[in-house]
């Protein structure tokens, strides 16, 4: 049986370190209106309860995507996930999220939470594919160009 993993090789998912913070900040800025700085990523990656996985396309290349989560006891929250714009729509986010959820499962996480903008159809489809379902909504901190508040969908999945 051929899986979607075969279509995305030679990408690999590996743990992140603070040496990747500048690249993570650049990827985040390309994906979000309110980007995090390299210092923000450094602060997160030195925390004992934060786990980060990166998508790498070759051994010497910088990460082309990442996922960060914070673990508390047997639950985790996906803090952020991003893929380089040129690689979107090619299955890399599925590979990254699958590997990251395995990282969390190995740390005895049984439930994962996240929030996503209600207009982000690609992310909603990705999360649904992994068993995430809506558990609530809240007005997000951002606003659209017309002044209307963004709405975040709160989702959770059992591992």
Gap between the Cα atoms of 26 and 73, Å rounded: 31
In sign, the C-alpha dihedral spanning 69, 71, 75, 77 is negative
Count of domains observed in the chain: 1
Task: Say which residue the tokens 């786990």 belong to.
Answer: 51
Gap between the Cα atoms of 153 and 158, Å rounded: 17
For residue 110, what are the domain limits? 4-158
pLDDT digit string, tens, across residues 48-92:
999 999 999 987 789 999 999 999 999 999 999 999 999 999 999
**What local confidence, expressed as pLDDT, does residue 143 receive?**
53
Average model confidence (pLDDT) for the chain? 89
Indicate the pTM of the whole model.
Answer: 0.86
The structure tokens listed for 30 are 């390309």
- The residue that leads in pLDDT, 38 or 5, is 38
Residue 101 belongs to domain with CATH number: 3.40.630.30
């Amino acid at each position: 049986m051929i899986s979607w993993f075969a279509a995305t090789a030679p990408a690999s998912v590996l743990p992140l370190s603070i040496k990747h913070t500048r690249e993570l900040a650049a990827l985040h800025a390309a994906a979000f209106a309110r980007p995090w700085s390299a210092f923000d990523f450094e602060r997160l990656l030195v925390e004992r309860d934060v786990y980060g996985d990166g998508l790498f396309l070759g051994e010497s290349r910088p990460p082309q995507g990442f996922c960060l989560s914070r673990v508390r006891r047997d639950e985790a929250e996906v803090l952020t996930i991003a893929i380089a714009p040129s690689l979107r729509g090619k299955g890399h986010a599925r590979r990254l999220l699958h590997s990251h959820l395995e990282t969390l499962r190995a740390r005895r996480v049984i439930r994962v939470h996240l929030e996503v903008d209600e207009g982000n159809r690609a992310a909603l489809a990705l999360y649904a594919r992994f068993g995430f379902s809506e558990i609530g909504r809240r007005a997000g901190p951002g606003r659209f160009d017309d002044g209307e508040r963004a709405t975040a969908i709160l989702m959770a999945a059992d591992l």
